[in-house]
Chain A
């Protein structure tokens, strides 16, 4: 297995990328072959991510599976790869969502080939970010993960008609693209500043980690990372692209986007921001905590006011990402560990929710909560998954959301009891809107309009089952996950505490 160990991270980036390119040469009309091939790529990559997860040694900790390939010496750029206890769960999350996303997109009819090509390229970019240990490539893949979104949303997405006004999908696509690139403007400037200030002439994260930047420098440039990556993480007040983008996107893209892409932003804040500028992080974390609290409460209140199912989930993502950022801001091991677990848990949960909504919307062609009623009769499978995803989101014990959120709460209460209360209030509001929506849409008497609806197909059911499996596994036996995550969080905190 030694050879597999040295190439597995490379393979995670290369296989979806090459798979996507190879797919471009398939004849456009053979849809079965196209989706079969995509599912195969998804399955192989999924298997590899499970391998990385099982093979990573939490007792040893640190970066593992390290490889380095020279790329551009004169600029100090090397393609260096490695994962630690924080990135391994993210890699697994990406594998799960990639595979289930392909299955959920089984019935894409329009330009099937182009869809899967772009989808695989998108996922290659996401893997690239999670495994890169070089700032150039980190940023390279970070941008790459945003690039296909525009076309994916614009071509395969759906517009929302609110009666009085219309939100065309092109609007959602453009807004998302501009917000995210605006965030990366800040990130890019900060990366170059770090490069110049270090005087090392290298973009290697491992080398830059050893540099202690001056207090003034850290204080000026940490906010650039915080806000720049924060845009993608849905940080209030830069979150407005996220509901619009998620709603306009086709199901699988919403899954990847809310499930994985938003985690890229959160991941960037700690992997680059906190890791390189721990002093700056310490100075600015109270502000981040404040913004994240607004995320939690305001996101939940906004979700409560939505009439469109997807918008509700979109705002609920904003609210849940608030817990992640809040956990980071505590700068203690319980809170941060909970935050990383929340990234994983929320990724799976929101993917499951979007998958269920997608299955529903494909059949009903409506997402208006006011109109949908009593669907359990006709769609029992979709209903079960939706209800379980909803319960995870509320934080029902036995499901992964509970563990993650409780840890974040504990972490926050240690230093900021007031914020802790607000965080719990946010969870309460979440329970209100989720339960109210579930009751309205799935229970009660069915209206004749929905009598013709059919349930999820076997493929869709399988995909949602895979997602649910992970929610249960983490919820029932979180210990190995926490060991893994803590092995990644501990060295980061040492850097902060060591100041």
Chain B
């Protein structure tokens, strides 16, 4: 067996524990080294992944752990995104949180969990990696120990998250009980032999798995935890939840439904389409009423989950490309929006939408970057959001879901309204405090890079689409 294929995960685990151990020996004033250690480590793991996993299509441990271009694509995505989150966290952690060692260590562990998730080739491995991810997040969400909101968020997340895990596990047990296997390809083969209509027990298992994963990705009606958790969690963790965790769950969902459940597509397609319709509508409608920007972004990201679910419902190679592309486009846009919120909070300590009044005068750069991010989330052209949404919606329409696409486009219009409210505050309402805002150099630099990325994906997506098509080829030949 070629253990080199497992090397990136081993190295990342070592890095996570390394950061925790180094933390013990660092005097308080040198804790600032930790994020840099994490960054260099992440870059190293990325290099290892690209070096040893590029072009491989094989598996380890008898199909438990898959090595293919799909998992490599997502691993690279998680590592880069993890690096961006570390960079975004630096100042926030220094100012508002204690115990940076644990913060970065646990963050790295959760990235490890996501990498394992995209590589898992059977249900239990997927479940265990999902649990590793969830447990890391429970801790990260409640990391602001002095803040009651953060504590409340942690408690809610752990209770509801445990419930969701139970549902998922129960669903897995049904599938195993009826089909006699947990391996993805074996499930697919077994489903092909099943006569239609499917045995209700298998269907129940499927429904429970959808519900469990629906909780994790915050799809309506399983989204109730998300706004409270997003609002209470330290903002970099919120950004991480909204971008990284969603991407990881969708990576699992894409693989699961295309490699394992594809033969039963008739059975689950409708369920996912209805969930998608519900999720996008609820998320966008409720977002209008929010006054806290983190809560607004939480609901908006629920809306985005709806679009992505629509892509899964219309599952085909093109739809899978669309989902991955939009995950990326949505990911960088949302990360940029959250980074703007973090930078503003670092300087002012405020996070209500009304507090953004006059930002265009106080910091033209921050206002411009946030407008770009919000316009991109709304799906306006020249920005990533337009191109990725257009791709995703076209794919869903090709899959026969034109009605759902119509609903999704209508929802985009609704979302434009509440994004414009923020932009109105920044550009049109005068500030009460007119002093110039000084954005930190690193934060501003990362934000600038993200804005450039938003433009690049929006205007020249061809190379990215090529890479994504290669990744899709591994799960949907």
Contact = CB atoms under 8 A, between A and B. Distances in A.
Most chain B beta-carbon neighbours within 10 Å: one of A74, A139, A177, A195: A74
Given A189-B409, A192-B394, A195-B397, A177 B420 contact: yes
B221 interface: no
Judged by DSSP, the binding face of B is: helix
A185 B423 CA distance: 21
Most chain B beta-carbon neighbours within 10 Å: one of A71, A140, A150, A188: A188
Contact of A144 (B381, B398, B428, B462): B381
Interface stretch (B45-53, B143-151, B207-215, B410-418): B410-418
A160 B199 CA distance: 67
A178 interface: yes
Nearest to A111: B360
B391 A75 contact: yes
Interface string B362-386: 0000000001000100001110001
A310 B135 CA distance: 62
A139 to B, nearest CB: 8
Contacts of A188: 393, 409
Interface string B348-372: 0000000000000000000000010
| Band of interface residues on B | 20 to 34
Given A143-B380, A181-B413, A188-B409, A72 B462 contact: yes
Most chain B beta-carbon neighbours within 10 Å: one of A150, A177, A193: A150
A140 B381 contact: yes
Nearest to A151: B427
Contacts of B381: 139-141, 143-144, 147
Most chain A beta-carbon neighbours within 10 Å: one of B391, B420, B461, B465: B420
Given A74-B465, A192-B393, A154 B428 contact: yes
B443 to A, nearest CB: 21
A170 B469 CA distance: 43
Contacts of A71: 462
A23 to B, nearest CB: 14
B37 to A, nearest CB: 37
A170 B409 contact: no
Interface in A64-99: 70-75
A69 to B, nearest CB: 11
B4 interface: no
B465 A192 contact: no
A75 B427 CA distance: 36
Contact of B420 (A75, A150, A196): A150
A496 interface: no
Contacts of A185: 406, 409-410, 412-413
A74 B402 CA distance: 20
A222 interface: no
A82 to B, nearest CB: 20
B416 A192 contact: no
A174 interface: yes
A328 interface: no
Contacts of A192: 393-394, 397, 402, 405
A181 B416 contact: yes
Judged by DSSP, the binding face of A is: helix
B424 interface: yes
Contact of B402 (A136, A155, A193): A193
Contacts of A181: 413, 416
A359 B409 CA distance: 40
Contacts of B394: 75, 192, 195
Interface in B29-63: none
Most chain B beta-carbon neighbours within 10 Å: one of A141, A178, A185, A189: A189
Interface string A176-201: 01100110010011001101100000
B405 A189 contact: yes
B74 to A, nearest CB: 20
A330 to B, nearest CB: 31
Nearest to B395: A75
A415 B64 CA distance: 74
Nearest to A128: B381
A185 B386 CA distance: 13
Contacts of B318: 74
Contacts of A182: 413
A72 B386 contact: no
Contacts of A195: 394, 397-398
Nearest to B417: A178
Nearest to A28: B364
A147 B409 CA distance: 16
B6 interface: no
A305 B177 CA distance: 76
Given A185-B413, A196-B398, A170 B428 contact: yes
B390 interface: yes
B428 A189 contact: no
A198 to B, nearest CB: 11
A196 B397 contact: yes
A424 B407 CA distance: 42
B398 A150 contact: no
Nearest to B429: A170
B321 interface: yes
Contacts of A150: 420, 423
Interface in A248-266: none
Contacts of B405: 189, 192
B424 A170 contact: yes
Contacts of A143: 380-381, 386
A154 B420 CA distance: 11
Most chain B beta-carbon neighbours within 10 Å: one of A141, A174, A185, A193: A185
Contact of B465 (A72, A144, A151, A196): A72
A154 B360 CA distance: 13
Nearest to B398: A196
Contacts of B371: 151
B246 to A, nearest CB: 24
A320 B142 CA distance: 62
Contacts of A74: 318, 321, 465, 469
Contacts of B410: 185
A189 B420 contact: no
Contacts of A75: 390-391, 394, 465
Nearest to A188: B409
Most chain B beta-carbon neighbours within 10 Å: one of A154, A178, A182, A196: A196
Interface in A182-235: 182, 185, 188-189, 192-193, 195-196
Contacts of B397: 192-193, 195-196
Nearest to A125: B381
Most chain A beta-carbon neighbours within 10 Å: one of B386, B394, B416, B424: B394
A18 to B, nearest CB: 13
Contacts of A177: 416, 420
Nearest to B361: A111
A155 B430 CA distance: 11
Contacts of B416: 177-178, 181
B398 A136 contact: no
A136 B390 contact: yes
Contacts of B462: 70-73
Contacts of A154: 424, 427-428
B325 to A, nearest CB: 10
B465 A189 contact: no
Contact of A196 (B402, B413, B417, B469): B402
7 closest A-B pairs by CB:
A192-B397, A140-B381, A154-B428, A143-B381, A144-B381, A189-B406, A185-B409
Given A73-B462, A140-B381, 10 more contacts: A72-B461, A143-B380, A143-B381, A151-B427, A170-B428, A177-B420, A178-B417, A185-B410, A193-B402, A196-B397
7 contacts: A140-B382, A144-B381, A147-B381, A170-B424, A177-B416, A189-B406, A192-B393
